Amino acid sequence: MSQFLGRQDCIESLRRDIIDLQGVVLEVFSRTGPVRCHSWKYPDKLSCNLDLVSLLDRYDFVDGEDEFNQHSHIVLLELVIDR
SS3 1: coil
- How many distinct structural domains can be found in the chain? 1
pLDDT-derived band of residue 1, with 50, 70 and 90 as boundaries? low
Residue range 63-73, pLDDT digits in tens: 999 999 999 99
Tell me the DSSP string of 14-75: HHHHHHHHHHHHHHHHHHH-----B-SS-TTSBGGG--HHHHHHHT---TT-HHHHHHHHHH
Question: What phi and psi values does residue 44 have, to the nearest 5 degrees?
Answer: -85, 0
Q: Which domain holds residue 73?
A: 2-82
Instruction: Evaluate if residue 2 carries a pLDDT over 80.
Output: no
Question: Is the distance from CB of 4 to CB of 69 less than 8 angstroms?
Answer: no
Q: pTM to 2 decimals?
A: 0.85
Instruction: Evaluate if residue 61 carries a pLDDT over 80.
Output: yes
Residue range 20-47, pLDDT digits in tens: 999 999 999 899 988 888 988 889 998 8
Question: Is the distance from CB of 59 to CB of 75 less than 8 angstroms?
Answer: yes
